[in-house]
Structure 1
Amino acid sequence: MPSYFLLRRRPNGEYYAEWSERLPGSAVVEWGGEAKLGESKREVSLREVGLPDESEYEVKADSAEVPVLAGRPACTNVSLLKSLLQKAVRRRQKRQAVWAAGALLVLSPDQLLRRLPIVALEDVALTTDFPTLVWMMAASSKGWVPRSNHLQWLLNSVATLCEVEEQEVHGAADTVVRDEELARRWGNCTANLTQLLSLKARLMYGGMQCDMSMLRWYTNTWHMRFQQQRAVPTQPASTFVKSLPLPAELPLEAWIPAACDFHCSNIIPRIMTENPHLRLSEDTLKRLIWDFSSSVNTRRLPMPPHSPSEDDKREWDAIKRIVMKTAQCIIKSNLRYV
């Protein structure tokens, strides 16, 4: 396993991460930390590096601290914001996704950086930005503080996720290819090894069992795809966020009602209490909200999606207005400006 996990920058200002056996010969180390990554929990050196001719640009670009938002976020419910981020990415709504990410950067950057790689894989696909997201997550846990250039790159990476038109339908896996096999097979191919080891690194940071199973599947699948000469699709860098700060408020009408679901709120018991005439079980209500609201992803799928039954469609049509109204009421109660 390589000894270094590096954050670097291209001449156009884009950040990218790569695994390497050594530091570039003329590199200037701008930040450093150690993290236990890989199956053996061996310490890996996290380094943000620049080249001597980049140092002047770096100082000028980051000489003034720029806040992410123009004030404290109007919503401070981290669980609701994470849900908004995910629902916006699923629906390819850049404005909402970027604002939610910006609010999370203010309130809980570690939670954003842990969650964002999972959202990318679950709802979009493996992208060329993935290793950089994982580097930032690992470095943030060791005290690295992003500067304005990093923040703008990160928010544009969120916008780029929204621009991806097709969703990878991932599977699950109980086992994962070993680090030694990855290093043996891809030691001479930095790009492939970087993607695979970054997947393994995110796996080491833990999370829900379904997410860990997904990470194992992605690692195994791309290990095989690389052997078939396939490449991770390259997405053009987004310029959606041209400058900071972002507005401190997202208007109520711009919120996605699906962000307020049973994962982050009491919407189920509230609906059932306020609407006793509904003859639905709690499990049925959850299933309808998931199928017709929470899980909606507007991307193309490589295979036809599962279609809900006609009975489910009729039941959803009967309760949709109630669900949306209740969600909006809960969202409104979490906004300090209304």
Structure 2
Amino acid sequence: MKLSKCLGTNKAQAQRDWPAAYASLGAERTRRYDPMELIKIVTPDGDEMRRAMDIFPASELTYDPLANAEQPTADAWEQALEITRRRALRRQHKQLSSSWEAQIRMVRPYLPRGVSPEKMQPQHIRQMMLAMEGDGQSDSTISTRMATLSGVFTSLIKSGLHPDLLNPCSRVDYVSRVQRSHLTATEDHYRQMLSSDIKNDPLLLRIVFLGVRVGEAIHGRVEGDTFVIEPIDGWSPKNKSSIRTIPIPAFLRNSIVDCNADAFGNVFRKAREDEQLVPHSFRHGFVQLARQLHCNPLVIEAVLGHRLPTAMMEVYGSGYAVGTMREEMQKIWQRLDKMLVKT
């Protein structure tokens, strides 16, 4: 365990990497390791023992208990992914997004060896999550990737190929607390931030008045009286539904954003009074204001870039007109203006 922690990886990988790492430490090794510290190892015969690090035989240091394990059933997984793609095309009349394909590419290296999709168990999902965590992936990243994998199992069940399969992801708590509950901005939050040192920051104002995500506020562009969110070099919206054109208030039509998300996050944290408040809170607040003002919920969904509730609404027509969106958004803008007057 000590060896694994020092090398920042799992036990088997640590045993493989240790000789080279140990040699490279040189004079510093006495500071990092206690040469006589006893740690647990697994011998080629499967026995566990505790040995001093300096007297490891080379065969023990290089032994990988997983070396002879069967490789993942690649064909079975590829079939499962293809079923998922075909199901999405049949139900949504469009291909799965490039972001879905990217998430799957990142998940595949963590699939357990020799375990086909129908044999996956909750403990396998848990092992994958721990491995991702060990590689430094954030809770939200792990949650997104597990949700993507969960969709593959759902497709296997719904396709009839494995109707009796129990989705192993549904039996593991993989959603991070941050994803479960973003704080919704209240009127007090709006007043506090819109009277703070960053009250004139165009990035904050775009987030507040348009209900957009931080990345969209940074990379979207103003065209006349509209705000266009579409893929550009080095960045793309969250999904296809997020590609949209929405109205923008007159006072933001000349706004220019010249900072990145990290820089904005730093100034935002310094300006806020509530430590739970995050930029995304104002996206939730935008929805809350829309409910209070009885805005058309489907129009607001389109403004936010959410997928519309039925396939028919996405197949027929070309979405809501900018003028229709403006009518609903003006109700929210007027409420925000009243908040500023009271500040």
TM-score bin, normalised by smaller chain: under 0.3
Q: TM-score normalised to the size of structure 1?
A: 0.24
Which structure features the higher share of helix residues? 2
Work out which structure has the larger RCO, using CA pairs closer than 8 Å and 6 or more positions apart in sequence. 1
